[in-house]
Each structure stands twice: as C-alpha cells, then as structure tokens.
Amino acid sequence: MSYRALSAVQIINTISRLERRIGERFPDAGLRKVCADLLALAQDTQRKAEQIAQPNRALRVVIVAAVGGGLVGLVYVALTAARVIHPQMGNEVFSIFAGIDAAMNVAVLVGAALLFAVTLEDRIKRRRSLRDLVAFRSIAHVIDMHQLTKDPGTLLGRGRATAASPERTMSKYELTRYLDYCSEMLALTGKLAALYAQHLPDPVVIDVVNDIEDLTANFSRKIWQKISILESYDAAAARSAAAADAT
C-alpha cells in the first residue's frame, strides 16, 4: 500500500464510517442524508477518476495515424518544393520565394493540426474533470448551509429566541459533535476533489482543485470558530466553579 498518494477506497471507507457515526448520534438529521450523498459522490468519483487515468487507446490510434499522415504530408510538400525550385534556380527568383512561402504556410498549418491532435486527449480529460468538479463545490455549500443556524451564542443563553428562530434542541456536546461532523465532511470533500488532480496533473485542473480546497478550508475555519466558542465557554465555567469551590 502506497502512502504517497490518496486512496479512493480509503476515502470511501472513511465517509461510510462517518455516515454511520452521524446516523447513530443524529438519526433524523438532514446532515446524515448529505453524508450519504457525499458517499455516493465518492463512489462515482472513484470510477470517473480511474477512467480519466486510463489512456484512451482508440483515440491514440487515431492521433498516431493523423500525426503520421501529417508528417508524410510535410515530406511530400518539401520534396515538391525542392523539385519546383531546383529547375528555376537563377532565372525566376520571385517564383522560388513564392514557392517557399507557400510551403512554409502549409508546414505551419500542418504543425498546428498535429499539435491539436497530440493534445486532444488531455483536453478531453480536462473538460470532463472540470465538469465533474462542479459537484464538489455544490456539496460544500450544502454542508455549510447545514451548520449555518448552529449558533453557539444562542445555545449558551445569550439572547432569547424569537418566533422565527430555528428550533435548537442540542446540548453543547451534541452541537460540538454536529459541527465536527460538518468539518470532517468538508475535509473529505476536498480530498475527493484532489483525486482528479492526482490522476490528471493538468495545471487548469490543479487550480480548480486548489480553489475547492480553499473553499472547504474557509468553511471549516468558520465551524471551528464556533467549536472554539463552546470550548472556551466550558473552560470559563470550569474556572468559575473552581474559584467558587476555593472560596
């Protein structure tokens, strides 16, 4: 087993365990359904990432044939130009240069076509990867929406609830676990996106994956600010209790 590359199987197993953990603690929570969707996305990602990593043999055969035909065409143009230019040496300079210019134009066009053919497979894989990576950005926003109303300030009794306030029935411990589950799901979302960059180290794909990882990290940072508030409140309560016992 390699420890230098991400394993799609291990990521799927981790998400599966996380889905069970959420279900055991919050069986009716919508977060469990989101994690189940993340698990399905992970399984789909494994299949798609492995397909992207595999060479498209049929396309490569066509590309090799196109490159070979292009090279043959260039040789033919060069030989034709040589036959036209040689008899005219010394008497029709203008015609010679016109023939050279035409041959160069053909060579440039054929070279551009060959470059297009050689990079076709990578561009197809890039387009597929970019299309698939949109799903990770979307599910990251969905996870963030689920933690949005989990406000530790109201749970700690700072302010009264209004008629439009969301129902809050979690204890401080349960809220901490819920927020921690959200943070784990965001981290795993970033790791799933990184599988595409691992199988296709294309600069454009890597930039998009980095953007997704930045997005999930920023969302997770907000979550840990809430967890820090809960932990600091517990620490302050413990200090107050210790001070009261001392007096």
Percent residues over pLDDT 90 in the chain: 46
pLDDT of residue 124: 87
Same domain? For 90 and 145 the reply is no
Rounded CA gap, 175 and 31, in Å? 13
Same domain? For 32 and 16 the reply is yes
Instruction: Name, of 153-162, 166-175, 213-222, 235-244, the range with top average pLDDT.
Output: 213-222
Question: Is 15 within 8 Å of 42 (Cβ atoms)?
Answer: yes
Is 157 strand, coil or helix? Answer: coil
pLDDT of residue 168: 73
Q: What tokens were used for 100?
A: 């050279």
Same domain? For 112 and 88 the reply is yes
Same domain? For 176 and 88 the reply is no
Same domain? For 29 and 146 the reply is yes
Overall number of domains in the chain: 2
Q: What tokens were used for 154?
A: 């109201």
pLDDT of residue 119: 74
Please indicate, yes or no, if residue 179 is contained in any of the structural domains. yes
Q: Which residue has the tokens 């967890």?
A: 227
Question: Is 192 within 8 Å of 136 (Cβ atoms)?
Answer: yes
Please indicate, yes or no, if residue 244 is contained in any of the structural domains. no
* Range(s) of the domain holding residue 97: 57-118
Please indicate, yes or no, if residue 143 is contained in any of the structural domains. yes
Residue 188: pLDDT over 80 = yes
Does the pTM of the predicted model rise above 0.85? no
Reported as a single tens digit per residue, the pLDDT across 33-47 is 999 999 999 999 999
- Of 77-91, 144-158, 174-188, the range with the lowest mean pLDDT is 77-91
Question: Is 182 within 8 Å of 170 (Cβ atoms)?
Answer: no
Task: With cut-offs at 50, 70 and 90, classify the pLDDT of residue 3.
Answer: confident
Please indicate, yes or no, if residue 240 is contained in any of the structural domains. no
Please indicate, yes or no, if residue 207 is contained in any of the structural domains. yes
Rounded CA gap, 68 and 176, in Å? 63
Same domain? For 86 and 113 the reply is yes
Same domain? For 50 and 111 the reply is no
Rounded CA gap, 195 and 190, in Å? 9
Question: Is 52 within 8 Å of 200 (Cβ atoms)?
Answer: yes
Mean pLDDT score of the chain: 81
Phi-psi region of 195 (alpha: psi -120 to 50; beta: other; left: phi over 0): alpha
